[in-house]
Structure 1
Amino acid sequence: MENREVKQGQMENTLKEWGAKIDSLKAEADKVGEDAQADLQSKIKYLEGKKADMEANLQKLKASSDDAWESVVKGFQGAWEELGTAFEEATSKFK
């Protein structure tokens, strides 16, 4: 069983990293052409929404009982991985 506080800390750090990546994408959006900018703005909006969802999920995890923690965190693991992949794809296209 993974330490609850450690896992929460990792999730919080990941959310901070994603916030920084979104900020970087916003700065990049000002530098690209019109077509690329529209695509990038769409990705930024999507990522911001997903990040907000994951922040809400983290709050639910924090509020869950110790007994429910393991099953709840397993349920969110796939969503975290999916969002991480979406961030990598969005940032790699605009480097």
Structure 2
Amino acid sequence: MLDRDQYIEKAKAKLDEWNAEIARMQAKADAAEADAKAEYQKQLDEMREKRDEAEARLTELRNASDSAWTDMKAGFDTAWQNVSNAFENAMSRFR
């Protein structure tokens, strides 16, 4: 099992990966024709929303007291999985 700092760093690394993917998709959207650009932008907005939700949850977890860490981690794991699935789903529709 990962300790608290390792756990947070792993989640942060995933957010960095998502940010890179959003930047890649933004470049693709910028080069798209007008009709496709609107759909790409919609998917990008959804991806950013999910990324922002994950960042907010990570901040809550990072700021949790030691006594609340275990309880919050369990809730974070579930929420993180839901956000991750939604982000991946939005990303797959973009391709």
- State the TM-score, normalizing by the size of structure 1: 0.82
Root-mean-square deviation (CA), in Å? 1.8
Question: Which residue number in structure 2 is paired with residue 52 of structure 1?
Answer: 52
Change (3 A) 1:94 1:47: closer
Which consecutive residues of structure 2, in runs of 5 or more, have no partner in the other structure?
none
Q: How far has the Cα of 1:90 moved from its partner? A: 3.1
- CA–CA separation in structure 2 for the residues paired with 1:64 and 1:33: 46
Question: Which residue number in structure 2 is paired with residue 8 of structure 1?
Answer: 8
User: How many residues are paired up?
Assistant: 95
Question: Which residue number in structure 2 is paired with residue 69 of structure 1?
Answer: 69
- CA–CA separation in structure 2 for the residues paired with 1:85 and 1:36: 24
Residue by residue over 1:64-90, the C-alpha shift from the partner in whole angstroms, topping out at 9 and shown as x without a partner, is 112211221221222322232233233
- CA–CA separation in structure 2 for the residues paired with 1:55 and 1:38: 26
Q: How far has the Cα of 1:37 moved from its partner? A: 1.7
Higher relative contact order (CA 8 A, sep 6+): 1
- CA–CA separation in structure 2 for the residues paired with 1:65 and 1:91: 34
Which consecutive residues of structure 1, in runs of 5 or more, have no partner in the other structure?
none
* 8 Å contact kept, 2:11–2:58: yes
- CA–CA separation in structure 2 for the residues paired with 1:32 and 1:90: 17
Q: How far has the Cα of 1:18 moved from its partner? A: 0.6
